[in-house]
Amino acid sequence: MTMPSRLAVTEAVAEWVQVCSREETVTDFRRARIFDGFAPKLMVEALRALSADKAQRLVRLLALSVPQWRPGDIPVVLLSADEQQEVTEFKRAVMKSLRKDRSILDNAIGQRRKPETLVKARRIRKLGVAALHEFSARHQFELQRFDARCWRLASLKKWGSVSVQFDFQIPLELKYGVFAYDPAGMPFRFADHYLGILGIAPSVWSIADADTCQEKILQACEFVKWHIDEYDRIITSL
């Protein structure tokens, strides 16, 4: 197959992001609400509290506020100054509402530093890694260990390779990033995550319960596989 250019992939993913943005506003943020970490939950709930028209406009602008890479590795933001100001004011309003009850944020941060939390996090991480082994075997990914808190699932494609990095760095949280490379190892996409490319928030799952964390991490893996499959579909079609 003819290899697509990085620019073609960038533009095709940007079109897909706009489709996803519209789908979020008409499905009450069905996919976005999968991420229940502190930051994504805060931002998604703020968007859900808006009127339908306002939410639709802001979600579109948030996606456009994410820098798009162009030839020469120059990041381009596709917003006017007024639109950028609208996005900034929304984010400031969310943070202002959070500061009214600072205890929520302080408790979230303080909880992570407790010795018992770190012990619990190590147990959850061990269970989580077992879930990654199960998922990688089921879907024929190669599982690579970077360190105890960072693992990668990788797979070859006709157009190159794709991988996803799972990050357990923050206690009781799970993050991911998708990487796509051409056959020469040049990146098509680098560390993408769903809420990030939509410009909403970090894509973070809360994994605070040792009894249910494996099931939740397997569900997270299924979501990530959907993301990878969408990139595969997009790049293969070019």
Number of domains in the chain: 1
Q: Examine residue 22 and state whether it is found in any structural domain, yes or no.
A: yes
How many CA atoms, within 13 angstroms, populate the side-chain half-sphere of residue 98? 18
Buried (b) or exposed (e) across 144-180, using 16+ Cβ within 10 A?
eeeeebebbbbbebebbbbbbbbbbeebbbbbbbbbb
pLDDT higher than 90, residue 126: yes
Report yes or no on 87 lying in a domain: yes
Amino acid of residue 99: R
Give pLDDT tens digits for 44-79. 999 999 999 999 999 999 999 998 776 556 666 779
Q: Model pTM?
A: 0.94
* Number of helical H runs and strand E runs in the chain: 8, 8
- pLDDT at residue 92 is higher than 90: yes
> Which residues of 36-149 form beta strands (DSSP E)?
68-70, 74-76, 142-147
Within a domain: 60: yes
- Whether residue 1 is contained in a domain is answered as no
Instruction: Judge contact between 225 and 219, C-beta under 8 A.
Output: no
User: Is the residue at 66 inside a domain?
Assistant: yes
Residue 155 domain-assigned (yes or no):
yes
What's the pLDDT score for residue 114? Answer: 86
Work out whether strand 142-147 and strand 74-76 pair parallel, antiparallel, or are unpaired: unpaired
Whole-number pLDDT of residue 2: 81
pLDDT value of position 73: 63
The whole domain housing 158 covers 6-236
Helical H runs in 140-189? none
